[in-house]
Structure 1
Amino acid sequence: MNVVGVSAFYHDSACAVVVDGRLVAAAQEERFTRRRHDRDAPLYAYRSCLELAGIGPADVDLLAYYENPRRKLSRQLWLALADDADPGRMPRLDATQPERELRERLGFDGPFVTVDHHEAHAANAFYCSGFEEAALFTADAVGEWTTTSYGVGDGDGIQITGEVPFPHSLGLLYSAVTAFLGFSVNGDEYKVMGLAAYGRPRYYDRLAELVTTGPDGQFRLDAGLVLPRLGGPLYPDSLAARLGVTPRLPGGEIAETHRDLASSVQLLLEDLLGQALEYLHSAHPSENLCYAGGVALNCVANSRLRRRGPFRHWFVPPAPGDAGSAVGAALLAHHRADGDRHVRRLADARLGAAPGRGALTAVLTEADVAYEDYTGRESDLLERVTDLLVQGAVLGWHQGRMEFGPRALGGRSILADPRDPAMRDRINQRVKKREEFRPFAPAVVAERAADLFELDVDSPFMLETAAVRPGVTLPAVSHVDGSARIQTVARDVAPRFHALLTCFGRRTGMPVLLNTSFNVAGEPIVNDALDALSCFVRAGLDALVVDDILVLRAAVPPAWRDHLSRAADRHAPRVHNDSYSFFL
């Protein structure tokens, strides 16, 4: 049975294909269109996933959509009435639009089902966890009416047993502070998480006054302060007076008060999540937790809460946000239609296409640009790349299938030496062109992770943080608090990336590399080899490795940078957004 899952029309449009209960492909539309957080129907992702699955549109037995449009419409109408909105300012609301547009755009005329949004989140975590049974927890801004859900998963499927209704939302609370701090909501919350380590939680009590907790995992937000409105900022002007902090303008100076506010909201989020998980464990006393939703991308909270308990074993999927709901919708729809559940743990997030090097070598040959070809000589390639890294090179690494989710995990990565104290600032300022406070992540061979970091679990999807062990010096990937967001790399999952880390370790004693996403600010992670070439040139990287091909910056004509920069301008960068689009 072939099931396609789709997430679309809000943000992070994506597609996934499940064949006989097995997840075989998943991709985000933004990687193909080069529009970050693309919300349109995932036409290119759909084509790519079908090709990877070896099937055509006529072979699709069922299409599963990641939310219930009719339930969502009721919340949209309620919000419009609560806000006393002018109907002329509202977009046209049509609960039939998702199915109609997907059928038209994807050319699909077969059975179409919807899955409730938080069911899709929970299914994404549970069906990829490998657990026979587990407690289920989801948290995001909102899906239909639900913002937080509690449930249980077993051989019969998933069951949502409790929920917190909109507008009472941990995701919205965190996003409101994100907007207050001058960052874009629905995309920059991770910046607040990174900034939190630089501050003190001295606004914790004032923020906590906005939240009232109750029994059975319930909580309520002060609706007068955080109830979303049609248009305008996510927070009211009164929030500044309530907190005693001046909002930061986008791009403005980050003051001590802003750092402290970030620290305060991070701590409050962790405490509220902790209370929610204590309730969940009392209701469903499993040793296993499956956790998804946009809030699950807060890896600092994940690690602190996992260490506290009460659950012994956690699973957070590589794409816990809305893109991953395409996976959850497909797996849940398959189980409901077929009755068969395949229990296997997802270990590899590289679920996208592997375009190969052909287009790259054709361009380089036509332009008479020299390159080094290591086909059939992997050990020579790894030694050459290690030479460059040890000499201080920053290089683009494009290998095999594309990762699914927001993290680069060795398929589409920028790599560098983590021992260089100047490397973080160099990449932030010259390559990624992003805020200086933002840390980079280490990728480490799984068998040595516990020797170098205080990490007691595998972290293949870069969703755990841990302290760097005393005596280990990795300044380029150590955050200001001594922690690191770690990716553990297993030999059987990513053999070439593992081999490169091992080669670098033999040379330096540290089988660790700085690993960040292969993109520049405002753009999605690169997809194919030509995307990689363009980013390599525009970012001023020292070298590019695509499969077995290595290109040095010195070989590239200087005019390419100007030309490619102009060509990239056709994809306008995402503008600052301080409010949710609740009517999409």
Structure 2
Amino acid sequence: MVGFGLRLKTHFTWLPRVVELVFTVREWRNVNHHEAHALMGYFSSPFRSALVLSYDGGGNDGVFNVFLAQGMGLCGQELWRIARKPLNLGYLAEQGEQGVGYHRLASYLPQVTGASEIGIAACAALEKVSTLSCILRAYPQKVYGEDAEGDWINLKYNFGDSLALTFAGKLMGYSGLAQPSEEAGCVSFGRTHGSGILADQVPRAMLEKICESEFGCQTAVPSIPASCLTHQNCKVMTEYLDELVRNKISVEGIVITGGCALNVIVNQLIRDTLTEATSEQPNLSKPQEVYVPPAPNDSGLTVGGIWSVSPPTGARQKLQYLGFRLWDVEALDATAHERGARRLSELGGVDFLAQLLADPEGKRPILAVVRGRQEFGPRALGHRSLLAVPDSRKLRDRMNRLKFRQWYRPVAPMIAEEALEEVFGHRYLSPSMEFAPKVREEVLERFPALAHFDGTARHQSVSRGDEPWVLVAALARRS
């Protein structure tokens, strides 16, 4: 059983009782939350040695943990926790919850939550404080209890966990619409590490931007990921890498895991600045690459828990397609016959599918693919996916409407490994959509829907080793 901290402490009491109604259990073992994340990330990585960062909204062992993982030859592989820090995202200094800042910021954005009344109430609170500020300036002898001209405003909205878990991905997509606001970013970051901040306080400068206009919202949102989490994590990771060098310890790579490892912006910056990924010449002072597992969030904890008891041996196992099989496979043939469906093999197989996607007459369809076992983790990687050719901006809008998503959400391109350098300028492997590099301008001219509004693409790189079936379609379109 993997620990979740005080929030889910009771599951250690009732979960064994439920399981033992069905199974005979010889022994129960408790595994630390971030240790399970780290084990899952390291043992699925291609590295013999790695610096492992695990960070998320919190577990029984904190919010931000760093591990050193090293292969020991015949003696096996070892993982050591070398640091635990109360590092958090945004302005929740006292709560110390990495990742909850996205939840808090998103709570005031109707574009993300869909709750317009929340935005109205937030701006009304700002107007009330601004009115008090005017009164204080006009009548300085009067005392109104608290400083209405402060940099922070008391404001709190709560959304349930099931809804709030969707905010981070939406907010990341929304943050690509504009450049960060320097004022909002400076306030939210500078006050985080200074004085103690109450959990219900919001940066005034950020709220002013949000209430200013639609464009103000767009400039306020990227301030958190751009100014806080990204540079903060890079700075901390640099310090630990430097410490390893001083102790004459080298690592092949960096592993990033935990729920916050789904932040492709941070992952990309760490990859570009702290590794050899973009180096023209070998740099022995840097790790070779960054690895993010297919399920870095809590859906991967079960694997980490198992590997804490029985670590894998031999070649690293690929995890992308180890999800559930089709739940209704028994009814599939009858349903297909009823609808007059034909087997793809009768029509020409995957080559027919590729030709259909790349229709030379311009009748570009959106095709749904369901095949084999589903993806392990939160990303759709070609086994439960909608496929289309991204040669028109209208395609992105069509895809979002079909999925009932907000207009600003990005779509993810599937790119053959052979074409990565052509698209990005570097061979950015990303088999589980872990990074977001910039797309070259000449490629964007041909495929405008391939990238997000900021010119980045959260891509899935496809190789023959990952998924040969999908690779055929990707290469066929490229040719």
Q: Please give the TM-score of this superposition, normalised by the length of structure 1.
A: 0.62
SS at match of 2:351: helix
Matched residue, 2:263: 298
Say if 2:461 is the partner of 1:485: no
1:412-491 to 2 correspondence within 5 Å?
A: 412-429=384-401, 431-472=402-443, 473-491=446-464
Matched residue, 1:546: none
**How far apart, CA to CA, are the structure 1 residues paired with 2:23 and 2:195?**
45
Structure 1: which amino acid aligns with 2:242? S
Matched residue, 1:495: 468
1:307 to partner: Cα distance: 0.3
1:382 to partner: Cα distance: 2.5
SS at match of 1:464: coil
Contact kept, 8 Å, 1:440 with 1:477, in 2: the verdict is yes
Matched residue, 1:333: 309
1:271 to partner: Cα distance: 0.8
1:246 to partner: Cα distance: 7.2
1:425 to partner: Cα distance: 0.8
Aligned match for 1:185, one of 154, 164, 169: 164
Structure having the larger proportion of residues in strand: 1
Contact kept, 8 Å, 1:130 with 1:343, in 2: the verdict is no
Identity percentage over the alignment?
25
Structure 2: which amino acid aligns with 1:432? K
Contact kept, 8 Å, 1:240 with 1:246, in 2: the verdict is no
Q: Larger relative contact order (C-alpha < 8 A, sep ≥ 6)? A: 1
Structure 1: which amino acid aligns with 2:81? I
**Is the alpha carbon distance of 1:346 and 1:177 closer, same or farther for their aligned partners in structure 2, counting shifts above 3 Å?**
farther
1:223 to partner: Cα distance: 5.1
Q: Please give the TM-score of this superposition, normalised by the length of structure 2.
A: 0.75
**How far apart, CA to CA, are the structure 2 residues paired with 1:296 and 1:378?**
41
Moved over 6 A (4+): none
Matched residue, 1:167: 95
SS at match of 1:271: helix
**How far apart, CA to CA, are the structure 2 residues paired with 1:306 and 1:381?**
34
Matched residue, 1:282: 242
Matched residue, 2:370: 398
**How far apart, CA to CA, are the structure 1 residues paired with 2:476 and 2:380?**
20
The C-alpha deviation readout for 1:372-409, integer Å capped at 9, x for no partner, is 1234x574453255225532111101121211011111
Structure 2: which amino acid aligns with 1:278? T
Say if 2:227 is the partner of 1:263: no
**Is the alpha carbon distance of 1:254 and 1:123 closer, same or farther for their aligned partners in structure 2, counting shifts above 3 Å?**
farther
1:150 to partner: Cα distance: 1.1
Larger Rg: 2
Structure 2: which amino acid aligns with 1:197? G
Matched residue, 1:138: 54
Aligned match for 2:298, one of 322, 328, 342: 322
Matched residue, 1:208: 189
**How far apart, CA to CA, are the structure 2 residues paired with 1:128 and 1:381?**
29
1:87-236 to 2 correspondence within 5 Å?
A: 93=10, 95-104=12-21, 106-155=22-71, 156-165=77-86, 167-182=95-110, 183=113, 184-202=163-181, 203-212=184-193, 224-226=197-199, 236=200
1:114 to partner: Cα distance: 1.3
1:178 to partner: Cα distance: 2.6
Structure 2: which amino acid aligns with 1:185? A
Contact kept, 8 Å, 2:364 with 2:389, in 1: the verdict is yes
Structure 1: which amino acid aligns with 2:464? R
Contact kept, 8 Å, 2:187 with 2:203, in 1: the verdict is no
**Is the alpha carbon distance of 1:435 and 1:344 closer, same or farther for their aligned partners in structure 2, counting shifts above 3 Å?**
same
1:450 to partner: Cα distance: 1.2
The C-alpha deviation readout for 1:232-282, integer Å capped at 9, x for no partner, is xxxx2x41536343768xxxx982222112110011210111112112213
Say if 2:340 is the partner of 1:370: yes
**How far apart, CA to CA, are the structure 2 residues paired with 1:348 and 1:450?**
25
1:347 to partner: Cα distance: 4.0
**How far apart, CA to CA, are the structure 2 residues paired with 1:319 and 1:381?**
28
Structure 2: which amino acid aligns with 1:374? L
SS at match of 1:150: strand
The C-alpha deviation readout for 1:523-567, integer Å capped at 9, x for no partner, is xxxxxxxxxxxxxxxxxxxxxxxxxxxxxxxxxxxxxxxxxxxxx
Contact kept, 8 Å, 2:32 with 2:61, in 1: the verdict is no
Matched residue, 1:39: none
**Is the alpha carbon distance of 1:246 and 1:98 closer, same or farther for their aligned partners in structure 2, counting shifts above 3 Å?**
farther
Structure 2: which amino acid aligns with 1:207? S
Matched residue, 1:51: none
**How far apart, CA to CA, are the structure 1 residues paired with 2:47 and 2:349?**
41
Contact kept, 8 Å, 1:198 with 1:259, in 2: the verdict is yes
SS at match of 2:305: helix
1:494 to partner: Cα distance: 1.0
1:470 to partner: Cα distance: 2.6
Contact kept, 8 Å, 2:178 with 2:454, in 1: the verdict is no
Contact kept, 8 Å, 2:300 with 2:377, in 1: the verdict is yes
**How far apart, CA to CA, are the structure 2 residues paired with 1:120 and 1:186?**
21
Aligned residues: 391
**How far apart, CA to CA, are the structure 2 residues paired with 1:312 and 1:359?**
48
**Is the alpha carbon distance of 1:95 and 1:328 closer, same or farther for their aligned partners in structure 2, counting shifts above 3 Å?**
closer
**How far apart, CA to CA, are the structure 2 residues paired with 1:145 and 1:498?**
41
Structure 2: which amino acid aligns with 1:386? Q
The C-alpha deviation readout for 1:316-355, integer Å capped at 9, x for no partner, is 10110001111111112213xxxxx525344450002433
Structure 2: which amino acid aligns with 1:288? G
Contact kept, 8 Å, 1:454 with 1:466, in 2: the verdict is no
**Is the alpha carbon distance of 1:441 and 1:111 closer, same or farther for their aligned partners in structure 2, counting shifts above 3 Å?**
same
The C-alpha deviation readout for 1:150-179, integer Å capped at 9, x for no partner, is 111123421112112483233122332232
Matched residue, 1:531: none
Structure 2: which amino acid aligns with 1:321? N
SS at match of 1:482: coil
SS at match of 2:20: helix
Structure 1: which amino acid aligns with 2:83? G
1:358 to partner: Cα distance: 4.8
Contact kept, 8 Å, 2:354 with 2:476, in 1: the verdict is no
The C-alpha deviation readout for 1:413-465, integer Å capped at 9, x for no partner, is 10011112211111212x01111111101001111121122333311111111
1:492 to partner: Cα distance: 2.9
Contact kept, 8 Å, 1:132 with 1:343, in 2: the verdict is no
**How far apart, CA to CA, are the structure 2 residues paired with 1:493 and 1:163?**
34
SS at match of 2:460: strand
**How far apart, CA to CA, are the structure 2 residues paired with 1:289 and 1:94?**
32
**How far apart, CA to CA, are the structure 2 residues paired with 1:384 and 1:442?**
17
Say if 2:383 is the partner of 1:411: yes
**How far apart, CA to CA, are the structure 1 residues paired with 2:465 and 2:213?**
43
**Is the alpha carbon distance of 1:260 and 1:344 closer, same or farther for their aligned partners in structure 2, counting shifts above 3 Å?**
farther
SS at match of 1:224: coil
SS at match of 2:407: coil
Say if 2:355 is the partner of 1:386: yes
